[in-house]
Amino acid sequence: DVVMTQSPLSLPVTLGQPASISCRSSQSLVYSDGNTYLNWFQQRPGQSPRRLIYKVSNRDSGVPDRFSGSGSGTDFTLKISRVEAEDVGVYYCMQGTHWPPFTFGPGTKVDIK
Amino acid sequence: QITLKESGPTLVKPTQTLTLTCTFSGFSLSTSGVGVGWIRQPPGKALEWLALIYWNDDKRYSPSLKSRLTITKDTSKNQVVLTMTNMDPVDTATYYCAQLHRGSFDPWGQGTLVTVSS
């Protein structure tokens, strides 16, 4: 199985300041079709996960443009340009290249300082 | 608008079989390329993918749980059913269903908490 790791696991942030979460995979996530199936999900307290980013850098419909994804191969990053109160929650990366199984990272908890 | 909703028992006893139903709207599981998956989340822990079924009845399972899982679909009812045998307290979790979209899962249902206890 592809192991996904995230850092940090806890991220206290100041409102209006940027935030960055790193995700690494145990092997390259480049698929034979040339795509890289790395996704980012947000889970607000008490809510279901919501996908923010698919294929490394594509924002889902309705996702604010302060969220951006980047990276390649085994190293990926989710950035929030200016953190807002509604961004509090746990963020997960997930790979969909080498499956089954789809595998998720352990999650990064974002809260306000 | 695409919606999914999970239903099933909130409490099961150890060794029993769990049956969960995902009822969805806004898409059809008879459309080429469409899939529905199940993912679970133990309290306070990370997400774990369980199973996926495609429009053509192709099924995929988590290798670590494959012997205990069965996923089926009823296209006429817009439902996907997941069964998990030999339930154990470590299977206590919120179980989600979600549409397969652009290579991953979006959107997700609200989830249903299943507790395994005698």
pLDDT for the residue numbered A13 = 97
Average of per-residue pLDDT values in chain B:
97
pLDDT for the residue numbered A24 = 98
Burial letters A48-57, b for 16+ CB under 10 A, else e: bbbbbbbbbb
Our separate counts of H helices and E strands in chain B read 0, 11
pLDDT for the residue numbered B78 = 97
Average of per-residue pLDDT values in chain A:
98
Structure token digits, residue B25:
């709207």
CB within 8 Å: A49 and B108 = yes
pLDDT tens, position by position, A23-58 = 999 999 999 999 999 999 999 999 999 999 999 999
Which positions in chain A have a beta carbon within 8 angstroms of at least one beta carbon in chain B?
Answer: 1, 35, 37, 39, 41, 48-51, 54-55, 58, 60, 92, 94, 96, 99-107
Residue B108 contacts A where some CB pair is shorter than 8 Å: yes
Residue B67 contacts A where some CB pair is shorter than 8 Å: no
Provide the CA B84 distance to its chain's centre, in angstroms. 10
Task: Summarize the confidence of residues B63-92 as an average pLDDT.
Answer: 98
What share of chain B in percent tops pLDDT 70? 100
Half-sphere exposure at residue A71, Cβ-oriented, CA atoms within 13 angstroms: 29
Task: Summarize the confidence of residues B4-27 as an average pLDDT.
Answer: 98
pLDDT for the residue numbered B115 = 98
Residue B100 contacts A where some CB pair is shorter than 8 Å: no
What residues of chain B lie within 8 A of the CB of A106, using their CB? Answer: 46
Task: Summarize the confidence of residues A49-70 as an average pLDDT.
Answer: 98
pLDDT for the residue numbered B65 = 98
* Amino acid at residue number A55: K
For residue A90, what is the nearest residue in chain B, using CA coordinates?
Answer: B46
Whole-angstrom CA distances from B102 to A53, A105, B15, B69, B81 are 11, 19, 37, 25, 22
Q: How many CB pairs lie under 8 A apart between chains A and B?
A: 65
Task: Summarize the confidence of residues B84-99 as an average pLDDT.
Answer: 98
Quote the minimal CA–CA distance from A104 to chain B in Å: 6
* Amino acid at residue number A76: F
Residue B71 binned pLDDT confidence (cut-offs 50, 70, 90)? very high
* Amino acid at residue number A8: P
3-state secondary structure of A90: strand
Query: Do the Cβ atoms of A110 and A64 come closer than 8 Å?
Result: no
Structure token digits, residue B26:
């806004």
Residue A20 binned pLDDT confidence (cut-offs 50, 70, 90)? very high
3-state secondary structure of A58: strand
Task: Summarize the confidence of residues A13-28 as an average pLDDT.
Answer: 98
What residues of chain B lie within 8 A of the CB of A48, using their CB? Answer: 96, 108-111
3-state secondary structure of B32: coil
What share of chain A in percent tops pLDDT 70? 100
Half-sphere exposure at residue A31, Cβ-oriented, CA atoms within 13 angstroms: 13
